Amino acid sequence: MKVRNFIHNGLQRLYSEGNAKGIPPDTVDKLRKMFAFLDTMNDADELRSLTSWKPHTLTGNRKGTVSLSVTRNRRLTFRIDTAEQEICDVNLEDYH
């Protein structure tokens, strides 16, 4: 799927330029792997196969946002626009 937009500027730089400025060093390799997977993903159901990344959909006022575990307290979050087959609002969040 194509990534439409980013909330986190450092993630956008990492994705488009390969520049890790603004990204915690301990997350760079895993984020690159996640972006590689998301780029080749055809359907949101493929996320279920990634048990080590603990994929889940958030609830409440974040309903529809997907979360993938990057580190113990950091998550890659995004929404999937199924009509356009695009990933949007990509963010790196610290849960703690």
Mean pLDDT for the stretch of residues 71-90: 94
Structure token pair of residue 64: 């529809």
Residue 96 is predicted with a pLDDT of 72
Q: Where are the domains of the chain?
A: 2-94
Beta bridge partners of 6: 90
Mean pLDDT for the stretch of residues 69-79: 96
Q: Give CA–CA dist 56/4, Å, rounded.
A: 20
Give the model confidence (pLDDT) of 13-61 as tens digits: 999 999 999 999 999 999 999 999 999 999 989 998 889 999 999 999 9
Other CB atoms within a 10 A radius of the CB of residue 41 amount to 17
Topology of the domain covering 2-94: YaeB-like fold (3.30.2310)
Q: What is the pTM of this model?
A: 0.92
